[in-house]
């Protein structure tokens, strides 16, 4: 049960960081840096 909760929380966090990165990358227009950043946020 706690593993499922952790999975959901990490998925929400990952989507949130992806969304933030999408906004920042659209402002800065740096397509190479944008997909790399959310990955270390989970680890």
Whether residue 25 is contained in a domain is answered as yes
pLDDT at 43 over 50: no
Report, as an integer, the average pLDDT of 5-33: 76
Number of domains into which the chain is organized: 1
Cβ-proximal residues to 35 (8 Å cutoff; 6+ apart), any chain: 21
Whether residue 6 is contained in a domain is answered as no
Whether residue 20 is contained in a domain is answered as yes
CA distance 12 to 29: 24
pTM: 0.47
CA distance 31 to 33: 6
Report, as an integer, the average pLDDT of 6-11: 91
With cut-offs at 50, 70 and 90, classify the pLDDT of residue 27: low
What is the residue range of 38's domain?
12-42
Burial 25-37, CB ≥16 within 10 A → b, else e:
beeeeeeeebeee
CA distance 25 to 38: 12
């Amino acid at each position: 049960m706690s593993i499922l909760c952790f999975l959901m929380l990490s998925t929400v966090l990952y989507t949130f960081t992806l969304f933030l990165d999408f906004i920042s990358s659209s402002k800065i227009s740096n397509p190479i840096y944008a997909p790399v950043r959310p990955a270390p946020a989970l680890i």
